[in-house]
Amino acid sequence: MLILVRHGQTDANARGLLLGRADPPLNQTGYHQACALAASLPKPDRIVSSPLTRARHTAAVLAGARPGVVDVDQVELDERWIEMDYGALDGRPASALDDGEWLTWREDPDFVPAGGESLTEVCARVHEACEELAEDAARRDVVVVSHVSPIKAAVTWALGVDHEVGWRMFLIDAAVCRIDTSGRVPLLLAFNGACSAGEANQLVGRRA
C-alpha cells in the first residue's frame, strides 16, 4: 500500500499562509497530530519523506523516534516529495493574488508564480517518484510524508487524470491518503483520512 501523509500543522498553516519551501517546524498541534497518526497507522515497513522540517518531524514520529529526536535511519529523504515552490508568494496570504491571477494559475498548469515552480513541474517529479515506489508498495506498506501539492499530484497519478483536478481537492493537516498499487492500474482507496487514533485502521486496503 502506498500511504500518503500530509505533515502536521505549523504556525504558518494555522494562519492560512501559502507555505512552500519556507521551512518552519511543527507547532504543538502538529506534533500531537503526528502522534495521533503514529497511534492510528500500523508501523510502516518503509518511510519516505520530503526534506523539509515539518515533514521530517512528522516522519520521525511515525518511525518511532523518541521526543526531540528527528533524524532516524528509517526515514528516507526524497527531494521529489518537497512542496511546490511558491517563489515570492511563499509565506504570504492567498489574498496576495487577485482573482485574475488565481484564474490563470488554475487554468494553466504551466503557470509559474514569480520565482517559483509550475504545477506541471510538480506533477512530473511526483509521478516519477510514484512509479518508482509502486512495485514496492504492492508488496508492503510504504508511507510517504509530504505536502499538499505533491500529494494532490500523486492522487492525479493514481486516478490517471489531468493536473487541474488537483484544484478540486482540499487536503487537511495530517491527512492520510491510500493508493493500492498491486493491480493493473493504481486504485485510490482513501482520501483525506483524519488522524484520530483508530480511524485509519478502519480503511480496508484490499481490492474487491
Contacting residues for 190 by C-beta, under 8 A, at least 6 apart: 176, 177, 178, 203
Task: State the Cα–Cα distance between residues 166 and 34, nearest whole angstrom.
Answer: 24
Residue 119's nearest CA partner among 169, 173, 194, 190 is 169
Residue 160's nearest CA partner among 132, 194, 184 is 184
Instruction: Supply the DSSP symbol for 96.
Output: G
Amino acid at 68: G
32, 76, 79, 83: the catalytic one is 83
83 counts as catalytic: yes
Task: State the Cα–Cα distance between residues 84 and 123, nearest whole angstrom.
Answer: 10
Q: What CA–CA distances, in Å, run from 60 to 26, 88, 97, 163?
A: 12, 30, 35, 30
DSSP strand pairing (75-77 vs 142-146): unpaired
Q: What angle do CA 177, 40, 130 make, to 5 degrees?
A: 30
Amino acid at 32: H
32 counts as catalytic: no
**45, three cell numbers:** 515497513
Catalytic residues: 7, 83
